[in-house]
C-alpha cells in the first residue's frame, strides 16, 4: 500500500466523512482500512480519494466515499451479520461491509464487473465477501434471510424479493426514486413478518437498478 494513498485515505475519512456527520467508529475504521485506489481503474487512481463518484467498467460508477459511509452506517452493523449487497460494481462497498460483517454476498448483473469485483476483493484478502453474477432484483433466496441489505442502485420501489429476504429486525438501505430528480435514500426496517418501517435519510444520485423485478 502506498504511503501517499494511506495519507489521502486518512484525510478523506476526517474531512469528507467524519466532518459531515458519520460517527460510527466501525464504519470510520473500515473506511480507513479499505484501499479505494484498488477498486478503481488504474487511470482513475490519482482521483481515488476525491469527494465524488468515479467511472468504472460497464458504464457504471463507484460511489462517492461519503455516500458509501453513510449507507453502511445506516445498516447499523455491529459485527457478525450476513449482508446482501445489490449492485457490487467494482467491489468497494462490499469490502467496507466485509470489514465489519461476518459475511457479504454481493450481486452484480454485468459480467465484466462481477469478474473484476471478485478479483479486487480476492486481491485484498476479503475471503468473507462473495460476488455472484446474477439479477440483483431477485436477491439471493438460497442464502436468505439477511440481517442487512445494501442496494447500490436506484429503484422506483424496493423490490419485493429483497423485502422478503430481510430478516425480522433487519435493515435495507436503498435509493428510491425515478431518476428524473435526486432519489431519497431510504432505510427500511423489517419490524415483523408483515410490517416494515421506512426512514428517509436524504437525497442521493444513483444509476438505475436493472432486472426482472424492476419491469413488473
Find the catalytic residue in 2, 63, 184, 192: 63
152 is catalytic: no
Please say whether the beta carbons of 83 and 77 come within 8 A.
yes
Alpha-helix runs per DSSP H in the chain: 3-11, 25-33, 65-75, 92-98, 111-123, 160-164
What cell was used for 203? 437525497
Task: Indicate the pairing of strand 61-62 with strand 82-86.
Answer: unpaired
Please say whether the beta carbons of 181 and 206 come within 8 A.
no
Backbone phi, then psi, for 49, in 5-degree steps?
A: -110, 20
Q: So which residues are the catalytic ones? A: 63
Amino acid at each position: 500500500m502506498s504511503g501517499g494513498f494511506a495519507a489521502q485515505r486518512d484525510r478523506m475519512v476526517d474531512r469528507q466523512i467524519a466532518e459531515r456527520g458519520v460517527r460510527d467508529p466501525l464504519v470510520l475504521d473500515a473506511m480507513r482500512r479499505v484501499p479505494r485506489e484498488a477498486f478503481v481503474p488504474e487511470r482513475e487512481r490519482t482521483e481515488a480519494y476525491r469527494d465524488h463518484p468515479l467511472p468504472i467498467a460497464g458504464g457504471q460508477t463507484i460511489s462517492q466515499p461519503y455516500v458509501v459511509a453513510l449507507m453502511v452506517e445506516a445498516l447499523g452493523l455491529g459485527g457478525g451479520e450476513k449482508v446482501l449487497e445489490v449492485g457490487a460494481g467494482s467491489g468497494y462497498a462490499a469490502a467496507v461491509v466485509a470489514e465489519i460483517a461476518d459475511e457479504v454476498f454481493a450481486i452484480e448483473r454485468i459480467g465484466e464487473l462481477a469478474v473484476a469485483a471478485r478479483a479486487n476483493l480476492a486481491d485484498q484478502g476479503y475471503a468473507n465477501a462473495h460476488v455472484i453474477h446474477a439479477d440483483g432484483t431477485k436477491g439471493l433466496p438460497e442464502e436468505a434471510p439477511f440481517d442487512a441489505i445494501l442496494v447500490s442502485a436506484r429503484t422506483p420501489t424496493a423490490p419485493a424479493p429483497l423485502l422478503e429476504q430481510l430478516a425480522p429486525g433487519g435493515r435495507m438501505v436503498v435509493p428510491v426514486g425515478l431518476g428524473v430528480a435526486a432519489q431519497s435514500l431510504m432505510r427500511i426496517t423489517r419490524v415483523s413478518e408483515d410490517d416494515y418501517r421506512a426512514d428517509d435519510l436524504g437525497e442521493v444520485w444513483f444509476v438505475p437498478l436493472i432486472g426482472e423485478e424492476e419491469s413488473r
